[in-house]
Amino acid sequence: MNGLKYKIAKIMEGRYGVDALYYALFVLWVVLAVINIFTKNTVIYVITLLIVILMLFRSLSKNISRRRRENDIFLSIFRKIRSEAVLLKDRIKDVGKARYRKCRHCHAITRLPVKRGKHTVKCPRCGEKFDVHIII
């Protein structure tokens, strides 16, 4: 077994390996493969093959700086989508209990209790004060 580990380590020497984009492609591949089991669609099958080829290409690539840049772009997009999803989940959970408003200065989202009327709110991030009008 140690001989196999050594050979794999020798092959991967100087190569990029796996990262967050690789794992996301893997999850996408699994989802499409499961869908393809039930639909038997040729287009989905070709897409799954292309995803596997892309995963292998990225993990075996020696152009580490470019693969790292691709991963950074993916992570920046993924973080934005994830933060919006978490905010949406919180907003749905807090319906009737809280309101969410964006600071006009630093664009931070502030959670406010539901109190009808016009209020002055101090942003927890930048400290600026802004007026909020809450209608129930």
Q: How far apart are CA 67 and CA 36, in angstroms?
A: 29
113: left (phi > 0), else alpha (psi -120 to 50), else beta?
A: beta
Give the residue from 116, 111, 113, 110 showing the smallest Cα distance to 128: 110
Q: Where are the domains of the chain?
A: 2-93, 99-136
pTM score, whole prediction: 0.72
| One pLDDT digit (tens) per residue for the chain, 136 residues | 678 988 888 888 889 989 999 999 999 999 999 999 999 999 999 999 999 999 999 999 999 999 999 999 999 999 999 999 999 999 899 888 888 888 888 888 888 888 888 888 888 888 888 888 887 6
56 HSE (CA, 13 A, CB side): 7
Q: Which pLDDT value is given to residue 27?
A: 97
